Structures are given as C-alpha cells and as structure tokens.
Amino acid sequence: MSEALSRRSISAAWLWLSVGLSISLILLMPVYSYAHGLAGKRFFPTTLSVEDPFVSDELSFLISHIREPGEGVEPAVNSTEISLDYSKRITPHFGISIGESFLHLNPDEGKSESGFGNLELGLKYQFLTNEEHETILSFGVDAEIGGTGASRVGADSFSTISPLLFFGKGLGGLPESVKFLRPLAFTGVIGPNFPTRSKNVITTLNEATGEIEQEVERNPVTLTWGFSIQYNLQYLQSFVKDVGLGVPLNRMIVLVEFPFETCLNRGCEGQTTGFVNPGIIWFGKSVQFGIEAQIPINKRTGKNIGVLGLVHFFIDDLFPKSLGKPLF
C-alpha cells in the first residue's frame, strides 16, 4: 500500500511539474531580458561535464555512452543515458533547475534494463559578475530526490544534497605580449554530496540454506570537484586578432573538462574517480552543440573511452520577452 501511495505521489509531482511549466510557457510579459553566460565581453558556454557557473534560462539535452567496469561479481555494463535539464531564472541572478535522465544499461551478462534516474532539482545564486575581469562566482544547492527513479537502473532510494561553489574566469586582461592567451577561460565547481541515509540494509533469502541474509551498503559523503579549460575562437576573432576564421570555426570553443569525485568517508576515503574530457562546442544565436570524449583517469573509473553529446537551447534568446526572462 505504501508503494502505491509513493507511486501516486510521484505521479502527482510529475503532473504538477507539467502544469507549472505549461503555465510559465504561456506567460507573455513584454519586458527586457538579460544576458546568459556573459561577463563583459566573455561568453561562457554551457559545458557538458562540469556544471557552468552562471544563472540562465536554458534547456539542455545531453547524451552519453560509455562502457562501465564491473564491480566484484557485477559484470561490465554498456551504459547509455539521455539527460534533460531545464533552468529558469527567478531573478536576474537567482535561478532554479530541474533535471531528469533516462538510462539504458546493457550488461555483459544478464538482460538489459531501462528506466528513469532520480529527479534532480537545483538552486543557484550568481553573487558576483565582474565585467572588467571577466569573472563569475555562484553558489548553488543541487538535490537528487531519492526514490523517484527506477532502482533497476541504479537510482538511489535515498536523496543526496549538494551545496556547490562555482567560478568562471576569463583571461582577457592578459598583457599584449601574450595576447593569444586572452581567449582562454576557466570554469569550475566544488562541493560535498551528502546522502540523506548513511547506509542501506539489503535483506535477501539464501535459497541454498533457507536463511535470511543481510548486507549493509554504506553511502559515503563525496566531494564533487572539477574544472574546464576553454579556448574561445570567437573571442580570438572578435577581440584579439582577426585570423580569418570563417563559419563555423568563428563560433567554436575548444575545451577540456576535468570532472572528478572523491570519497570522503565510510571506508573509501581518498578514492577518486573522474574523467578528462576533450571536446569542442559550437554556439549560435539560440542554440549550442557540443561533443566530448570521456577518458577515464584511473582503473577505478574504467578503461574504456566514452562519448558525450550536447544540444542546448538559449531560452533567453528564443523567448526574450516571455519565458526567457526572469520572473522578477
């Protein structure tokens, strides 16, 4: 009965979400909109792996594919994930986000599984934007809502709360002698992930002995940290030196992202997993595309290279006087 109630409440949450987004879509208020991802003349794109530091109205579709290593008796899995993330500004510097993902897991042994991951919610406050120094600082809280996804694809039954600090910094202020480094920029994020439950007790029936067995699975606090290094060809062409780049190179950003996660307690202290993700981004007036390779940094992360692809819509450019502007 409690399972039925839980399903009903999740179902109601989705319905309210749909209604809320629909209402916001039809609200048409004729006022100015503000810029996304800009600090002075620096444009910070939405990155694929490391969460970006700015608050904006945007809609992202991210697809990833990688072969994940087996753990213990668990076989290796070919994992494909399609994620959707929608961000909405409430004020020019404060925004909320909602994200959902659909996973398809194809293990070496056993049948494949598909299902939704947990619902992800977020808040972000961009408390510093310095145009002259091309700097952005933000603080946010992300929450993965436990039990809203399918356990068969690994969705946790507990929630995880993550307070995060974000930064973005462009190097446009470098002296003339190193002017070709001015298109460089860095973004990054750091923050702990707190599970709302320290352990899961899994009870199973041993069919051979007929005894009930209990296994304790510990849920550690982890640290998310990562950064990106970006070289913006549009910045080079528009502000440093016209080197004759045409379409589409004049709107490209070459980047490498470094998303990491380090375990902080409960038996796995100091263990880090992560990737080095080289890739390219192209941005237009209302849409952005990106593609990256995912290269594991160690055996714990995996040994196969994955791929990430992004299609991203600038809602503030698409609907500058309605859905794409801050509510207040």
Partner 1 sequence: MVNSRQIFIAFVCAYVLSCLWIDEAKGHAFPAHSDPKVGATVASSPVSVRIWFDGDLEPVFSTIAVQDASGKKVDKGNGRVNPSDAKLLEVSIPPLPAGTYRVIWNVVARDGHRTMGDYTFVIK
- Which residues contact partner 1 (rule: CB under 8 A)? 11-12, 14-15, 17-18, 21-22, 25, 32-35, 38, 40-41, 59, 61, 84, 86, 116, 131, 179, 234, 237-242, 284-286, 313-321
Nearer to partner 1, 84 or 202 (CB): 84
In whole angstroms, how close is the CB of 160 to partner 1 at the nearest point?
A: 21
Count other C-beta atoms under 10 Å from residue 198's C-beta.
14
> Strand 306-314 and strand 119-130: pairing?
unpaired
In whole angstroms, how close is the CB of 209 to partner 1 at the nearest point?
A: 41
In whole angstroms, how close is the CB of 241 to partner 1 at the nearest point?
A: 3
Q: Is the dihedral of CA 277, 274, 47, 229 positive or negative?
A: negative
Token pair recorded at residue 180: 């070709």
Nearer to partner 1, 7 or 303 (CB): 7
Instruction: Return the biggest CA–CA distance within the chain.
Output: 77
Please return the burial class of 4, using the count of CB atoms within 10 Å of its CB with bins 0-12, 13-18 and 19+: exposed
Tokens 């404060």 correspond to what residue?
94
Nearer to partner 1, 30 or 72 (CB): 30
Nearer to partner 1, 132 or 207 (CB): 132
DSSP string, 209-247: T--EEEEEEE---EEEEEEEEEEEHHHIIIII------T
In whole angstroms, how close is the CB of 211 to partner 1 at the nearest point?
A: 39
Nearer to partner 1, 190 or 287 (CB): 287
Token pair recorded at residue 1: 């009965």
Given a contact cutoff of 8 angstroms between Cβ atoms, the answer to whether 9 and 140 are in contact is no
Count other C-beta atoms under 10 Å from residue 18's C-beta.
10
Nearer to partner 1, 109 or 242 (CB): 242
In whole angstroms, how close is the CB of 11 to partner 1 at the nearest point?
A: 5
In whole angstroms, how close is the CB of 231 to partner 1 at the nearest point?
A: 16
